[in-house]
Amino acid sequence: MNAATAQHQSVDWKRLVFLLTGLALFTVVYFSPAWPDAVDPMGEHFVLSREGKGALAVFLLAGTWWVFEVVPIGITSLMIGILQAAFLIRPAKVAFKDFMDPSVMFIFASLVIGAVFTKTGLTKRLAYKMLDIVGERTSMIYLGSFVVCGLLTHIMAHTAVAATLYPLLVAIYGLYSDDPNKPSKFGKGLFMGMAFVAGAGSIVTLLGAARGAVALGFYKDIMGKEISFFELSYYMAPIGWLMIFLLWGFFMITCKPERKTIPGLRQKARELNAGLGPLSRNEILAAVIVGVAIVAMSLRSFIPALNAIDKTAIILSSTVLFYVLRILDLKDLEEVPWNIVLLFAGAMSIGFCLWETGAAKWLAVNWLAMFKDAHWFLFVMSIAFFVMVMTNFIMNVAAIAISLPVALVIAPYLGVSGEVILFASLVTAGMPFLLLVGAAPNAIAYNSRQFTSGEFFMLGIPASIILMIVVGLAVFVVWPLMGMPTTLPTGG
């Protein structure tokens, strides 16, 4: 009797409620009657097919399960593929093929780089050197970590930056806490802040993420105007760095470290660094391999011959070399956090599902059509908001691609320039602060076990509000002062 009572008390009712909520949302949406067409300002109708409605149903279930972690986040991803196949939303071959999309393999390779830096000891060297510079105040450790992260995203993909910095932050946190696996406010701010800042820094140049180059090419096709590498950085740098410093302040308030200082940290870091001795063969090899991979990926934007080679092939070459040169072994491969890899595999699958079934386009047209008679500023902000929400669920490039064509059709009627729409969209596309699946740095930071996906979501809400305020400031004040046309000369 007592055993039965204990078993009954051990039921996690909160988990059960949200598990059933996700299933209920899927059932209600999937089996509901056909929904009305979306109609754009030109009168074109966009039908939401049965498959499109099914995609929205899977989208709602996955979002609910991811936020409340009713099962491991990688298992929720498996459910995304299962539902698509079982309910004939997309063929199984298509749904599960997305699980091995090049973007997923890029994340896998980034995680392997992080493992190499940790195993060889390079991470500790970098961590001790950084702590020697920033000192013993935890607020400065926050700031130093965020500034390094922001700077690195200007020259390399933010996923690779997160994978490189993650083990460094683990080493720093190990000096802060006696139990590195025990969550703390400092740990939460350090790792979650790294993820947020990686997004903020990645908007500044075309090297931080693929979304910038794709969006500029897309914009050129629609508007017939070309925006250069340096023009993008000119307008984005003030916004990206403003967000980095605002995020520092944000985490100093929301995740204020338990300790203001770590006495003796600088001296301890120097002693530990001296104890590492000279660079080992594996450290040198790892640094050279990663360095060459980063340079090759960065040069793709400038050298046409390299641009033809996908960045995933370049970064995966580093993975192969680590094993060829015996820097890593089979045990290291088995320790890759497959939960994170599966998380992104599922995110790619649901993103493509919403895109290919037309569900994402239907959502975009319905949303933007509501603002076709609004003030130009409200219209621009509505696009930025839509991209911000969608980029938490689907690929940021796709979020821009589904909203830009509709927005650029409506824009002339409201006297809005195409540039301000493009740049506002790119800012919010780079900073998905709500869900772990929004960007790879989010998932990499989650691997620290310093926060839950629910905590990430709750802190992401005020961070996203700050982001929208900054976008509003950029659109209405900063960019016009810098010379960006926000409205057309002819008016409305």
Of the spans 7-21, 60-74, 214-228, 389-403, which averages the highest pLDDT? 60-74
Predicted confidence band of residue 460 (pLDDT cuts 50, 70, 90):
very high
| Averaged pLDDT for residues 397-405 | 68
pLDDT at 352 over 80: yes
Give the pLDDT band of residue 395 (cuts 50, 70, 90).
Answer: low
User: What percentage of the chain reaches a pLDDT higher than 90?
Assistant: 37
Residue 335, pLDDT score: 85
pLDDT tens per residue across span 306-351 = 777 877 888 899 999 999 999 999 998 888 888 878 887 888 888 8
DSSP, res 71: S
**100/102 Cα distance (integer angstroms):** 6
If you average pLDDT over every residue of the chain, what do you get?
A: 86
pLDDT, position 381: 93
Q: Which helix (H) or strand (E) covers residue 45, if one does?
A: strand 45-46
Dihedral over Cα of 21, 25, 26, 27: its sign = positive
Q: Give dist(CA 138, CA 369) in Å, integer.
A: 47
pLDDT for 178 beyond 80:
no
- Taking only the tens place, the pLDDT of each residue in 102-125 is 878 877 887 888 788 878 888 778
Which single residue is written with the structure tokens 């020697």? Answer: 132
- How far does CA 212 lie from the centroid of its chain? 14
45 phi, psi to nearest 5 deg: -95, 140
Beta-bridge partners for 487: 416
Return the structure tokens found at 263: 């006495």
Lowest mean pLDDT among 316-320, 410-414, 451-455: 410-414
pLDDT band at 491; cut points 50, 70, 90: very low
Q: What is the pLDDT of residue 1?
A: 47
List the one residue out of 168, 170, 191 whose CA is nearest residue 117: 168
Residue 492 has pLDDT above 50, yes or no: no
Facing residues of 137 across strands? 261
- Rounded mean pLDDT of 113-140? 83
**pTM score:** 0.78
CB 144 within 8 A of CB 381: no
- pLDDT value at position 73? 83
> What pLDDT was estimated at residue 436?
86
pLDDT of 24: 97
Under 8 Å between Cβ of 89 and 55 = yes
Contact 130, 236 (CB under 8 A): no
What is residue 8's predicted lDDT score, i.e. its pLDDT? 47
Residues 354-379 have a mean pLDDT of 85
Q: At residue 4, does pLDDT exceed 60?
A: no
pLDDT score, position 387 = 87
Q: Over range 160-165, report the average pLDDT.
A: 82
**Whole-angstrom distance, CA of residue 346 vs CA of residue 400:** 20
Indicate the angle between helix axes 338-356 and 359-369, nearest 10 degrees.
Answer: 70
Most confident of 121-130, 219-228, 344-353: 344-353
Instruction: Supply the pLDDT for residue 443.
Output: 86
